[in-house]
Amino acid sequence: MVNPKELQFRIEGTVTSSTDDDYESLRRAIWNQSAPGRHPRHIVQVVSENDVVEAVRFARANQMRVAVRGGVTCSSVRSRIMRRAIRNFS
């Protein structure tokens, strides 16, 4: 069984799981209230390059798919950090 607390311990950002009380409001906020048929098991809000690397490692170790969501509210600095971390991870 995947334990998201393991990931939360390794990152500065926040891990929200589908069983958490605030999951649905966060999921809707990420998708601009449209709430399409996407229901990720975990939502990871990263704050550093290390967070991205750890999230990808966690997903890989647990055979999970990864989707990156940035959008208008995502700062250009954070977008660059995410792209660089993912590029450097492989």
Domain boundaries, the chain: 4-89
- What does each C-alpha distance from 50 to 11, 26, 35, 55, 67 come to in angstroms? 7, 22, 28, 8, 17
> What pLDDT is recorded for position 8?
95
With bands split at pLDDT 50, 70 and 90, how would you rate the model's confidence at 52?
A: confident
Higher pLDDT among residues 46 and 32, named by residue: 46
Average pLDDT over residues 39-49: 88
Contact between 49 and 13 (Cβ < 8 Å): no
Supply angle C-alpha 14, 19, 23, rounded to 5.
55
> Could you tell me how far CA 11 lies from the centroid of its own chain?
11
Each residue's pLDDT tens digit, 17-40: 999 999 988 888 876 666 567 788
Question: For residue 56, which phi and psi values (nearest 5 degrees)?
Answer: -65, -40
> What pLDDT is recorded for position 70?
66
